[in-house]
Amino acid sequence: MLNPSQDIDHGTPRRESTEEVTLEIDGMPVTVAKGTSLMRAAVDAGVQVPKLCATDSLEPFGSCRLCLVEIDGRKGYPASCTTPAEAGMKVRTQSPKLQELRKGVMELYISDHPLDCLTCAANGDCELQDMAGVTGLRNVRYGYDGANHLKSAKDESNPYFTYDPAKCIVCNRCVRACEETQGTFALTISGRGFESRVSPGQDQPFMESECVSCGACVQACPTATLQEKSVIWLGQAEHSAITTCAYCGVGCGFKAEMKGNEVVRMVPWKDGKANEGHSCVKGRFAWGYATHKDRVLKPMIRRRITDPWQEVSWEEAVNYAASEFRRIQGKYGTDSIGGLVSSRCTNEEGYLVQKLVRAAFGNNNVDTCARVCHSPTGYGLKQTMGESAGTQTFKSVEKSDVVMVIGANPSDGHPVFASRMKRRLRAGARLIVIDPRTIDLVKSPHVKADHHLKLKPGTNVAVISAMAHVIVTEGLVDETFVAERCEPKSFNAWREFVARPANSPEAMEAVTGVPATELRAAARLFALGHDGKRNAAIYYGLGVTEHSQGSTMVMGIANLAMATGNVGREGVGVNPLRGQNNVQGSCDMGSFPHELPGYRHVSDSTARGSFESAWGVELRPDPGLRIPNMFDAAITGSFKGLYCEGEDVVQSDPNTQHVAEALMAMECIVVQDLFLNETAKYAHVFLPGASFLEKDGTFTNAERRISRVTKVMPPKAGYADWEVTQLLSNALGYPMNYASAEEIMNEIAALTPTFTGVSYAKLAKLGSVQWPCNEAAPEGTPTMHVGEFVRGKGKFIITQYVPTDEKVTRMYPLILTTGRILSQYNVGAQTRRTENNQWHSEDRLEIHPNDAEDRGIAEGDWVGIRSRAGETVLRATITERVQPGVVYTTFHFPESGANVITTDNSDWATNCPEFKVTAVQVMPVMQPSEWQQEYSRFNALQEELLNRRIEETAATK
């Protein structure tokens, strides 16, 4: 376990400068960067200046008057937090006069503050309490007879923290954190003078305000005014450990603060490179699922999926699964079974699953949920630049002059990165949003997009080609960069292609729905930059990849970045915003059927030979089955067994009925997970999984950052996930004998060129590293493709727009697209088991007022959504966030059946499903109670069909 040292608060942020100044503080010389505050300089000299309103995550404010100092030759007592250090200064932080002033200030604070320290939840973690001791305050001359705030009512509306205005000292830290760190601007100071108090909006309860519950205000509060309810209930933690959040691909570092094996709170780690002390509502507060009553903690088996589950020992469950897999292979052949691994699993767990499939199953039938989200990223970036990953750090956006966001909603999907991006936009960077929906970034507090290209779903490639047309035909190509860094033949062919009149914004306007003038202006802004600065960065998400031309679009994005020279330095680049915590890592670990760890093809005899030597087994050179191929093969009768670790394909994959039919056709499905999810309804063996709090290992985030995941409590079911995979492998006759997750990482490093320098010792020393990490880059690679591309010369690829097969018709006149919401995560298995449901308790269908009026739909009505694949029912939200002809929903609740209606159309190169384009019809339906009756009848018919299929299968054995 990593035991972090006590964090030192320097009071004000670090200043970057090549110029230094030397001064004297309390007789000690100290040299600091120009612009550094006296307070921070004092801390660098080992002197802590008393403070309450200052903290090093926020800009100095100078309101508390505790940090006063004396400076030789100057009158008065300036605040050290707002006074910059100057060469030759002589500063005193302690003197009788300063002591008198500070004690007087503290006395005023305490005169209107409850003296309930012994019973206060912040006792032992209260800066006001600490400062009373530091200043030597021993009595208060002012009584409580006059006006005070001691009887102010608490706001306990938020499920995760309380607001007690009686304890507020109006230091403004929470307000500043909401503005500077989060960028929501939800808090303000209401009233004047003595009446001043923190207020969420217009004196609303927190839950009715614009607050997004990121926790920045709670973290910043120096008293018990804003306090986690978990701390109020459990008391102060007695130890902590550094770990990594198990939600989105930002990969925030956290301190898990513990009492024994119980989590008291999760505090964002200020040294976490991905988040730098910030968090969102999920990582900060939504960790209670790890101890939820729904957790399954005993292995279970059943012969038929209509039988009840029977609890058994680990040995019996593992041996049964192994015997069934061997029986199936004996009857149907070696290729009749396979494995799936989730992007929620660690690198070490994913590595072991693909090793199990290749070495113990004897085939390459392994795939990962990255197939259904970012597989086009891997393919498209590999083809153009030579590496299947993003190019930058998240911090790189702080040097961007133009930011282009395509098919992503960072405010909801990657909120901590969104806060960083918004800071840069508020500082003057320009913004282009390409999205069919009006996401928050288009217009939010102090942020407004310069251009919103509100395209029709499915026309991404047409838009990117039209932008390229403008850049080529208007002479905006960075000719020097292209000549030095890219293949001339491929560039010339691409230049000729995009310059064709058919690719002009005017020609494409009817296809994309984007006005040609707006598209031209956006293209010019991207290519020319802002105020003479040309750093332009592209960030994209599933709105790019989950299309029939997902891979084509990724290549189009790479083309645009290369043509404008926006690769290979800070502030630029091609940056996929990965959806789940370890999407990047699951791909890195060889979880695709055609690639070994490190993105080396299974047909590569040299790469394959290194694994054969290490694993002591001959490996197959032919690619295995992808997820869709497994399902098709199951329906045709040749694929009969599946080991599924951490993945819920029934809820997350498209065309749910097709997935269910495939699973029903299998003879042994082993699900390893925390909960009995939708896929487990079709399973024959259930092996309990471990939450991230019970794991040792690593995650790799969207910026290729490898970070430690630290076990803070024992696995509740007895085994970590990698240990379960090892047990299954041993039962199958292929021995694995790892003693720890660290041993697995050592093997990964020994066999994977981009990981050769990775070790737990290095991660403990540096906090995290970004691959490639090897002899050429012993401390990792923050920015990719510096000087030259990984493949040598960048390759331009022609991106011909091909309309999707999914067409609107009179029967299906609307296009459905899908996405995420802030409070919920992916299929919702984790967040639905937390208080996050108070923000979002059901998936809803967003529909434009015009389309709603045409169909007689009112706000909150139940509507039926029918596609070529199926139908479901949701409640309607009428909003202009979607354009006419487009409807939108999230997919966090299984009962919503969002993927019942998505089709099995997919990307031409990778089979990534086309979740973002489904032709549908939407109409009002019966009341929910009547619908539930219909739904029950439907379920009964499904069960009857299932039993009949099982009986038919049994009869053929």
CATH classification at residue 361? 3.40.50.740
Between CA 167 and CA 675 the distance in angstroms is 41
Q: Helix or strand or coil: residue 126?
A: coil
- Looking at 61, 94, 127, which one is the last position of a domain? 94
545 and 620 in a single domain? The answer is no
Q: Rounded mean pLDDT of 675-700?
A: 95
415 and 452 in a single domain? The answer is yes
Do the domain assignments include residue 225?
A: no
Do the domain assignments include residue 303?
A: no
How far from 35 is each of 39, 51, 356, CA to CA, in Å?
11, 19, 56
How far from 931 is each of 387, 598, 887, 937, CA to CA, in Å?
49, 50, 21, 10
CATH number of the domain to which 928 belongs: 2.40.40.20
How far from 48 is each of 66, 96, 165, 795, 887, CA to CA, in Å?
12, 17, 28, 55, 56
Query: CA 2 from chain center: how many Å?
Result: 23
Q: Is 319 left (phi over 0), alpha (psi -120 to 50) or beta?
A: alpha
Do the domain assignments include residue 326?
A: yes
Q: Which residue shows structure tokens 């020609």?
A: 507
Do the domain assignments include residue 766?
A: no
| C-alpha Rg value of the chain to the nearest Å | 29
Between CA 700 and CA 769 the distance in angstroms is 9
Enumerate residues 6+ apart whose C-beta is below 8 A from 416. 250, 252, 274, 275, 278, 279, 280, 283
Domain range for 614 is 313-369+582-697+714-730
Q: Which residue shows structure tokens 């290095």?
A: 762
571 and 611 in a single domain? The answer is no
pLDDT in tens, 722-754: 999 999 999 999 999 999 999 999 999 999 999
687 and 603 in a single domain? The answer is yes
571 and 639 in a single domain? The answer is no
Read off the DSSP letter of residue 50.
Answer: P
Residue 905: per-residue pLDDT:
87
Enumerate residues 6+ apart whose C-beta is below 8 A from 75. none
- Looking at 576, 600, 634, which one is the last position of a domain? 576
Averaged confidence pLDDT in the chain: 92
Residue 951: per-residue pLDDT:
64
Sequence letter at residue 550:
G
Do the domain assignments include residue 209?
A: no
383 and 365 in a single domain? The answer is no
Residue 1: per-residue pLDDT:
33
| pLDDT of 144 over the 90 cut | no
412 and 523 in a single domain? The answer is yes
**What letters, b where the CB count within 10 A reaches 16 and e where it falls short, cover 168-206?**
bbbbbbbbbbbbbbbbbebbbeeeeeeeebbbbbeeeeb
Q: Rounded mean pLDDT of 636-657?
A: 91
Q: Rounded mean pLDDT of 435-454?
A: 95
- Looking at 576, 595, 626, which one is the last position of a domain? 576
Between CA 790 and CA 774 the distance in angstroms is 14
Q: Are 131 and 50 in contact (CB under 8 A)?
A: yes
Query: CA 932 from chain center: how many Å?
Result: 34
Q: Rounded mean pLDDT of 573-590?
A: 91
- Band the pLDDT of 147: cuts 50, 70, 90: confident
Rounded to 5°, the CA angle 817-250-386 comes to: 85
CATH number of the domain to which 58 belongs: 3.10.20.740
Q: Are 582 and 346 in contact (CB under 8 A)?
A: yes
516 and 382 in a single domain? The answer is yes
CATH number of the domain to which 514 belongs: 3.40.228.10
Residue 139: per-residue pLDDT:
86
pLDDT in tens, 93-136: 999 999 999 999 999 999 888 889 999 999 999 999 999 999 99
Do the domain assignments include residue 6?
A: yes
Between CA 678 and CA 651 the distance in angstroms is 6
**Count of domains for the chain:** 4
Q: Helix or strand or coil: residue 552?
A: helix
Read off the DSSP letter of residue 897.
Answer: -
Q: Are 2 and 710 in contact (CB under 8 A)?
A: yes
554 and 635 in a single domain? The answer is no
Percent of the chain with pLDDT over 70: 96
Q: How is 176-221 classified by DSSP, letter by letter?
A: HIIIIII----EEEESSGGG-EEEETTT--GGGSS----SHHHHH-
Token pair of 484, please? Answer: 């030095």
434 and 356 in a single domain? The answer is no
Counting every residue written for the chain, the total comes to 957
**What letters, b where the CB count within 10 A reaches 16 and e where it falls short, cover 859-891?**
eebbbbbbbebbebbbebbbbeebbebbbbbbb
Token pair of 518, please? Answer: 């707006």
546 and 510 in a single domain? The answer is yes
Do the domain assignments include residue 220?
A: no
352 and 378 in a single domain? The answer is no
Residue 331 exposure: Cα atoms within 13 Å on the Cβ side = 16
- Band the pLDDT of 911: cuts 50, 70, 90: confident
Do the domain assignments include residue 405?
A: yes
- Band the pLDDT of 3: cuts 50, 70, 90: very low
Residue 903: per-residue pLDDT:
84
Whether this model's pTM surpasses 0.85: yes
Residue 2: per-residue pLDDT:
35
Residue 929: per-residue pLDDT:
53
